[in-house]
């Protein structure tokens, strides 16, 4: 039996984590201890003065060392929560953030029963899984270039019983609408509407890489050292994926369909201009709880 109690172990670890620059050392320390002991918060409060077993203390110390090295808490635990659901996460996907729930909230307001929804740059799958779980969709598709990210997304969907199709693709490259796209461009409107109803999407959502390349080295250790670079790097100005996705999206979205983006807080004007130039109207900017611009959304004009 260890000489140290659960509470003392948490306090000692919190001091170490604080010295290493961890933002919420007390919270993180307690979460790591509960992970090792399989306690919930109530059990911890009931047993915190009891002495730890040596094996548990050794396991706890290993996790504390990882967090002191600035490995994200969510990676160490192997999961996080988004929209009230538990998602598996690892080094192959961005950790879902509460800010992204603003994008989900606005998408849910746009979706009607039976809609077809595509999530570009899906990562952990948290956006499309939430939409498919909250609304009755006729088709839900998550797209990502990374096969390892899609493995995580698929496992999350399986665990949460969400009906989502996963496609490995460099943006729209493997989205098989080439025939329908040509018809959409060339046929009369009454035929086009029939094709739209059966093959194009009602909603496209995306939280693409949007960090300016020269800013990445200034990010926190948790992000810079442990998040996948391809999920962060938005090119020299942070806008490369907004341009590519917007330009291509018009061939995959129904007339009147919505395109919704999560954005960096300083990118709203540029993303609005990109969408306007590609034929989007009714373009809106939505702020998050901190008052920062977080979502840009617009509707595709008719021909």
228 and 177 in a common domain: yes
| Average pLDDT along the chain | 91
The per-residue pLDDT for 303 is 64
Query: Higher model confidence: residue 235 or residue 102?
Result: 102
CA distance 5 to 53: 9
Rg (CA), the chain: 22
**What is the pLDDT averaged over residues 167-171?**
96
Q: Do both 43 and 147 map to the same domain?
A: no
Lowest mean pLDDT among 125-134, 144-153, 222-231: 222-231
Selected residue with higher pLDDT from 182 and 30: 30
116/250 same-domain check: yes
Task: Examine residue 184 and state whether it is found in any structural domain, yes or no.
Answer: yes
Q: How many whole angstroms separate alpha carbon 139 and alpha carbon 132? A: 8
pLDDT at 6: 96
Q: For position 177, what pLDDT does the model report?
A: 58
Residue whose C-alpha is closest to residue 303's, from 205, 208, 191, 158 = 191
Tell me the CB-side half-sphere exposure of residue 9, using CA atoms within 13 A: 30
pLDDT of residue 198: 57
Query: Per-residue confidence at 241, pLDDT binned at 50, 70, 90?
Result: very high
Of the chain, the percentage scoring pLDDT greater than 90 comes to: 82
Q: Does pLDDT of 193 surpass 50? A: no
Q: Are residues 47 and 134 in the same domain?
A: no
Confidence of residue 228 (pLDDT cuts 50, 70, 90): confident
Same domain for 63 and 124, yes or no, is no
Both tokens of residue 188? 């009369």
CATH number reported for the structural domain that contains residue 148 in this entry:
3.40.50.150
Let me know if residue 235 belongs to a domain: yes
Same domain, 42 and 188: no
Residue 249 — φ and ψ, nearest 5°?
Answer: -60, -25
In this structure, is residue 158 part of a structural domain?
yes
Whether residues 295 and 155 share a domain: the answer is yes
Statement to judge: residues 52 and 110 lie in one domain = no
Read off the tokens for 286.
Answer: 């939505």
Range of the domain at 279: 92-300
Instruction: Report the pLDDT value the prediction gives residue 197, as an integer from 0 to 100.
Output: 45
Residue 2 has pLDDT above 90, yes or no: no
Q: Is residue 78 part of a domain?
A: no
Q: Are residues 114 and 45 in the same domain?
A: no
The span from the CA of 3 to the CA of 208, in Å, is 49
* Model pLDDT, residue 257: 97
Whether pLDDT at 131 is above 60? yes
Report the number of distinct structural domains present in the chain.
2
Q: Do both 175 and 246 map to the same domain?
A: yes
Kindly state whether residue 77 falls inside one of the protein's structural domains. no
- Flag whether 269 is in a domain: yes
How far apart are alpha carbons 191 and 218 in whole angstroms? Answer: 52
Percent of the chain with pLDDT over 70: 92
- For 176, counting Cβ atoms within 10 Å of its Cβ (0-12 exposed, 13-18 middle, 19+ buried), the class is exposed
Same domain, 101 and 59: no
pLDDT for residue 1 = 54
pLDDT band at 42 (very low <50, low <70, confident <90, very high): very high
* Residue 76 counted as domain residue: no
The mean-pLDDT minimum among 90-99, 133-142, 181-190, 203-212 falls in 181-190
Domain membership of residue 113 (yes or no) is yes
- Return the structure tokens found at 178: 């080439």
The verdict on 146 and 225 lying in the same domain is yes
């Amino acid at each position: 039996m260890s000489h140290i109690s659960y509470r003392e172990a948490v306090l000692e670890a919190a001091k170490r984590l604080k010295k290493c620059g961890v933002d919420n050392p007390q919270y993180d320390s307690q979460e790591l201890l509960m992970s090792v002991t399989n306690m919930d918060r109530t059990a911890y409060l009931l047993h915190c003065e009891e002495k730890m077993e040596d094996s548990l203390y050794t396991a706890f110390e290993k996790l504390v060392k990882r967090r002191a090295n600035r490995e994200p808490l969510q990676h160490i635990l192997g999961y996080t929560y988004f929209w009230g659901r538990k998602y598996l996460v690892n080094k192959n996907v961005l950790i879902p953030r509460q800010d992204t729930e603003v994008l989900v909230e606005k998408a849910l307001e746009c979706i009607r029963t039976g809609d077809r929804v595509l999530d570009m740059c899906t990562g952990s799958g948290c956006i499309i899984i939430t939409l498919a779980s909250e609304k009755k969709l006729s088709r839900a598709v998550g797209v990502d270039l990374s096969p390892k990210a899609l493995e995580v997304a698929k496992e999350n969907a399986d665990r949460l019983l969400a009906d989502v199709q996963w496609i490995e693709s460099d943006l729209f490259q493997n989205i098989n609408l080439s025939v329908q796209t040509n018809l959409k461009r060339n046929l009369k409107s009454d035929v086009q509407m029939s094709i739209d109803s059966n093959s194009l999407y009602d909603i496209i959502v995306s939280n693409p890489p949007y960090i300016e390349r020269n800013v990445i080295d200034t990010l926190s250790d948790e992000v810079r050292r442990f998040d996948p670079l391809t999920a962060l790097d938005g090119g020299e100005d942070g806008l490369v994926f907004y341009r590519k996705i917007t330009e291509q999206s018009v061939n995959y979205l129904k007339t009147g369909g919505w395109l919704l983006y999560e954005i960096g807080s300083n990118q709203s004007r540029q993303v609005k201009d990109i969408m306007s130039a590609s034929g989007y109207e009714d373009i809106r900017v939505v702020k998050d709880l901190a008052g920062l611009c977080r979502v840009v959304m617009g509707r595709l004009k008719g021909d």
